[in-house]
Structure 1
């Protein structure tokens, strides 16, 4: 007897998703409530649990297919799955044996096939993107430590393993033998292209960013910030802070508190346009851009203006972990009145970030770099950071944007202002 597995309710106003990855193969044993598939929605990845214990049946839809809420995607058969897995493997064996080998890519085919077999032997469940990287670099996934949820491999894990892997003479020899098949008239190595379907999340990101460009009157203003005081305060109190709150003291807490202070003086930065009205907020919900395996996600720190440094840092750390594991929920993404994006962690010196509609402003943080500056008539070296504020000029005037950045600069260069609300 088989039990149907259908697409669960995905959240308000969301009616469809993309089947991003099967987490179980046909014949695999499945426990009740164990995830068997991952769905990609416009905002987050949602895992589909098995309603009963049994054996994974043949999927009804393929990875990359669009499915509606309530649609049938798989069936769970009764039984442990050990017996059914062997006949399926035997049935697939002739297909592998009958696969033709292209002599022009003989070396490459052997290498990719070895990597694929290693992947199967390791009993690992790999996403299409991770599987492609494993094949490209000729790695054994069973020897790579996964940092994703339940120990799954992520793209970062594979890239790190590829970077640390020693060069293999055998691989070079395989490439040479493959190149021997290329006619001398070709002159250069074969050039390849690959077409990969955009994930639903990436499609949504592209759509929203283009919508922001088409709708808002975007403008960016800049200022530089001396990080000496913040760095000194952090170095002085980070050990005590971590001991008391069990969380590291980072820079983001300072910037969120400074943004809340500046937004009180310039409320239009924390507002948005709705029709022919301006909606002002007496609270600050900060959207924080977080890098996830499938793209950029923007969870929201709610009532950030009323939070302590420890509460802000704990919330951000929790978002980072759940973004990496793919367990952020729809509610984590909803709302947001202002966005902070930290490109500095990737080494960015300067940027013009794009607002997150319907918000009217986004703050861009950048890398800290020692630069010569003039202080009291003398040239000194200071740890400097460029701040960028992109805003909707329909709502925020240039004077207000500059004032907002100046207020942030004043608060961060003299963190005492954050304590006495100046």
Structure 2
């Protein structure tokens, strides 16, 4: 089959998916709801009006909180479940790694399950024969290939299932969180195989809770929240949106907890604003050149007398901390009286070199977090003209003839 690059390999249009939740799971529940079965069930909408295309050769990361609809959407894309509304168009051979042991029969041997799984993925017996030894070698199952898979560990399940999927010559590979079950060497092998697929121009959709993993292999991020697409675009920005959602949920949970106990949320320290200035005390709004003296000033107000510590974190868009500093680390004891304060941190001759970094600030005390703004802004640094990394230096090199 020839797959035309100009036509999307997957097209989702107005996808919704509803599940019916039953309450009458026990004999007692069935007796309770006998006269009104309608009360014993309710509907849950896992996906709502999801629409986007996936083009040939893209590697898309599906991100979202637990229960956001990622795995449900992946099953809809793979044709495992049908949507309640909307249409799904897909082309080419699809290989899906969605659930641990899916497509495996526990009473069959690993060898028999390889042929069974390969047939489900659309491979003929001859095609499976040709790659069988490669599948076994990749999985590392070895002498256990003729044992019943019900005696396999979860890691063996995943290794064999992934080996079959990636050797089925798929145009579209769907991968759920199952890779988290394998050990580190196998995860590295899987990532290398995914990169090989990328070089070959195959399409991959990956569900993962690991921001590092998504940033490493994906060139596009789709963020889901309560079954809706809230972001579709660059991976770094997608992870920032995801982190903002986590922070929002944390704040809402704290507020709900305080309301349940009829207690106001205590925020005696409020961060009013943050400024970033250079060595001439001029606010920085553009690109920060290497060697710039940076001063990050946190302007805060105490509405009650408390002990407090404030500081900042500079991180990559995927959440990797590059540098963190606070007043406690510098041995600064902040005033505890009610009032407004400006706390300045100076970083002489800054040498960051990661393009865009994320700045977050916060204040804590003996009772925990008073306030946290993550992120409060972005810092754009000039790229290192010679090296690659999060730091840059006035690098030099030389060659010496030794013989």
**Shorter-normalised TM range:** under 0.3
TM-score normalized by structure 2?
0.28
Structure with greater strand percent: 2
Structure with greater helix percent: 1
